[in-house]
Structure 1
Amino acid sequence: MSVKPLGDRVVIKKVEVQEKTKSGIVLPGTAKEEPQIAEVVAIGAGITNDEKKKDEIKVGDKVIFSKYAGTEIKVDGEEYTIVKLADVLAVVQ
């Protein structure tokens, strides 16, 4: 099953970032905040059909999104978040 976002929405998958303290201790996922960096999985037609917006973001881009934005869903055991394009703050290059 796949998810196709509607309008100006984007489906993203959070990227696990392994963090280390200054002393070199690796923090497990439960001891740190949720990542705000994600990979774009799908883009809605409202973005791809808009001449101004279509070049801003594409599938496969790594993006930074608002901390409390979006709706989390689970599809085929994978966790995704659906956010509005306005909640995407930057593309990581």
Structure 2
Amino acid sequence: MALNIKPIADRVVVEAAPAETTTAGGIIIPDTAKEKPQQGTIVAVGTGKKDEPMTVKVGDTVLYGKYAGTEITVEGKEYLIMRESDIYAII
């Protein structure tokens, strides 16, 4: 899949993981009660700042803040664009 978005500076584009549809006990979660996922896969990376190279790369699975990033839709798929500093961890 070729994404035609090239983030600038320290920004990354993340494809969010799908939201949980059932609990560990097997209870189905309705759409109105689903929480936004806080995990996703990086699909595009900027070049970094002058003195701060990027530490994440395309394909990394990351954890980020609940309200991090800006939601965008490209070719029918939803992505988040956020600063690298909004990412908490690579898993």
TM-score by length of 1: 0.80
Find the partner of 1:31 among 30, 33, 50. Answer: 33
Matched residue type, 1:69: A
Secondary structure of 1:46's partner?
A: coil
- Superposed displacement of residue 22, structure 1: 4.5
Task: Confirm or deny that 1:91 pairs with 2:90.
Answer: yes
> Which residue does 1:69 correspond to in 2?
68
Q: Flag structure 1 segments of 5+ consecutive residues without an equivalent.
A: none
Contact 1:40/1:62 (8 A) holds in 2: yes
- Superposed displacement of residue 26, structure 1: 2.9
Cα 1:19–1:44 change in 2 (3 A) is same
Secondary structure of 2:88's partner?
A: strand
TM-score by length of 2: 0.82
> Which residue does 1:43 correspond to in 2?
45
Matches of 1:3 and 1:27, distance apart in 2: 33
Task: Confirm or deny that 1:10 pairs with 2:12.
Answer: yes
- Superposed displacement of residue 46, structure 1: 1.3
Contact 1:18/1:26 (8 A) holds in 2: no
Alignment: residue pair count: 89
Task: Confirm or deny that 1:81 pairs with 2:72.
Answer: no
- What is the Cα-based RMSD across aligned positions, in Å? 2.2
